[in-house]
Amino acid sequence: MKNILNKPATILFHGPSGCGKDTQVELLVQKYGFENIGTGEMIRKMYDAKDEDAVIATEEYTSKGLFVPNDIIYNRMFPKWLNKFDSKKNWAFVSVVRDVGQIELFDNLLKSKGRELDLFIHFTLSAETAIERMSVRTYCPNCGMTFHPKFKKEKVEGFCDKCNTKLIQRDDDKPEKIRKRIEEYNRTITPILEKYIERGILVEVDAAPSIEDIHKEILRILDL
């Protein structure tokens, strides 16, 4: 693949729960200065800052287990949130396109910032492996970081490395709920992948190997 990093690149990372996409993006942040951009952190941070749209998104939707409407996310929140990131750096988005209807919204958002999507990296993982990983992972209710006793152990047992909040295990990380999420993910991701295959920017990465081996594969793809 040609070197897409000869200019500030925009890359979308996607994959089912438990595939390790957040971990891989964080490695790019730490080692190569990428900007890590995701919907979850955007909503949390803007809510803490008492942004009006984030308050609506949180109190009327996410707190009730509902999806936030596209208009709020793409047309009202993201344009403000992206202003905080360095436009001269590579941008790594994580799972911000969750249905076909969001592809055009994402394209328009990037265009408004003078960018376009250069690469879509999709992590593949079997339901069995996802269940094995996720059923023992813990989660920070404050900043959203996840930890795993084998793949990403916290430095102080039971507490988040980033904000020192006590870790919890989410109810939806039970095997039967994980399997249902994987099934729903596979149903919704197929038409999205087809669109990016047509553009010629889709690359799939096996998420079963170790964090180190997956990272090496990402670096190979990016020619780093």
Cβ contact 185:17 at 8 Å? yes
The pLDDT confidence band at residue 6, using thresholds 50, 70 and 90, is: confident
What's the CATH code of the domain at 78? 3.40.50.300
Rounded Cα distance between 71 and 73, Å, is 6
Q: Give the chain's domain count.
A: 2
Contacts of 210 (CB under 8 A, 6+ apart): 151
| Residue 24 lies inside a defined structural domain of this protein | yes
Tell me how many degrees the CA angle 37-43-46 measures, rounded to the nearest 5.
Answer: 100
The reported pTM is 0.83
Specify whether 118 is located in the same domain as 74: yes
Specify whether 147 is located in the same domain as 83: no
- Which residue range forms the structural domain that includes residue 29? 10-125+172-222
| Residue 83 lies inside a defined structural domain of this protein | yes
The pLDDT, as a whole number, for residue 4 is 78
Identify any residues that bridge with 156 across adjacent strands, giving them in sequence order.
159
The pLDDT, as a whole number, for residue 65 is 79
Mean pLDDT for all residues in the chain: 91
Specify whether 116 is located in the same domain as 25: yes
Specify whether 24 is located in the same domain as 63: yes
Q: Would you state the torsion angle of the CA atoms of residues 187, 115, 221, 122, taken in this order, to the nearest 10 degrees? A: -10
Q: Residue 2: is its pLDDT beyond 70?
A: no
Q: Residue 68: is its pLDDT beyond 70?
A: yes
| Residue 3 lies inside a defined structural domain of this protein | no
Q: Residue 170: is its pLDDT beyond 90?
A: no
| Residue 185 lies inside a defined structural domain of this protein | yes
Mean pLDDT of 138-160: 88
Specify whether 57 is located in the same domain as 70: yes
